Structure 1
Amino acid sequence: MISFVFLLPVCPNCHAMLHRRKPPFTPEELKALMDANKSN
């Protein structure tokens, strides 16, 4: 059985951003980056 507990739907732009780094960003890291960008 496959568990989908850890899946998080994201838009294509966010999906691409998650994979811009190796290892990929976590959703929490990406949210922190976006929040930091809003304050600039």
Structure 2
Amino acid sequence: MISFVFLLPVCPNCHTMLHRRKPPFTPEELKALMDANKSN
């Protein structure tokens, strides 16, 4: 059984970005990448 506690709704673009790496990025890693990109 899947626990919905671990599911995080994301938009299609973010979902694609999460799976661009093997193993997939964690939501926290993706947020850090986005925050770093904003500061550049």
C-alpha displacement at 1:3, in angstroms?
Answer: 1.5
Equivalent positions of 1:1-40 (< 5 A) are 1-40=1-40
Q: Which runs of 4+ in 1 moved over 4 A?
A: none
Q: How many residues align?
A: 40
Identity %: 98
The Cα offsets for residues 1-40 of structure 1, whole Å up to 9 and x where unpaired, read as 4310000000000000000000000000000000000000
Higher helix share: 2
- Quote the Cα distance in structure 2 between the aligned partners of 1:38 and 1:2: 34
Which TM-score applies when normalising by structure 2?
0.94
